[in-house]
Amino acid sequence: MNRRVLVYTGAALGLITLWFFIIYAPYHKQREQEFANTKQALNQLSDFDQILSNLPNYLSMSKDLEASKMDLISHLYAKSDILELFKNLEKTAQKRNLTTQEIRPSIQELLQLNTLILTTEQPLFVNIDMHLTGNYVDIGRFVQTLENTTFFRGINHSRIIENNDASEGDLRLEIGFTAMLGRLEAES
């Protein structure tokens, strides 16, 4: 009888061990994995819930920032306005048989314009220096044309000197004037 009990006990322990390794251990491991996946899914749902609750604030802030951006853009002078002014000045000089040697605004003034743009609704002005070569008659016609343009706001300084580098009779005009920034109308 001892032997039978020992065989039955050994067989039962073998079946229990077999059941543990074949059925219970994989089931337990799968259950832990599913629990971890469920916990991760709950965390993601919590994050999504938080994102959805903050979405109206984000959209409102985004709309406000876009409106602020458009307001700032509407106050900025366009660099194309300055470039168009330079092209217009050079074209006017060419029509009057003058050679444009230099057109320059003050860099400090351009930098200062950026701060003024945000604080004023008034038109913006920039001082420009031009150096041209040509004869007296063409210089006079250029200055007259310049004074009749819509952007011209006054001469700051001017000087006519003999141009040593060019042929006889050519003069050099150094003129500084104030121009109003903005869209230029067609100038003749």
Q: What is the DSSP string of 24-66?
A: IHHHHHHHHHHHHHHHHHHHHHHHHHHHHHHHHHHHHHHHHHH
Q: What is the pLDDT of residues 143-157, one digit of tens each?
A: 999 899 888 888 999
Mean pLDDT of the chain: 81
Whole-structure pTM value: 0.52
Instruction: Give the angle subtended at the CA of 122 by the CAs of 124 and 148, to the nearest 5°.
Output: 55
Assigned CATH class of 79-180: alpha beta
State pLDDT tens for residues 108-132. 777 676 666 555 566 778 888 999 9
Domain boundaries, the chain: 1-75, 79-180
Contact in structure between 156 and 174 (CB atoms under 8 Å):
no
Report pLDDT for 188.
40
For the chain, what's the residue count?
A: 188
pLDDT per residue as tens digits for the range 24-74 = 888 888 889 999 999 999 999 999 889 888 888 988 999 998 888 776 655
Nearest-angstrom CA–CA distance, 119 and 105: 21
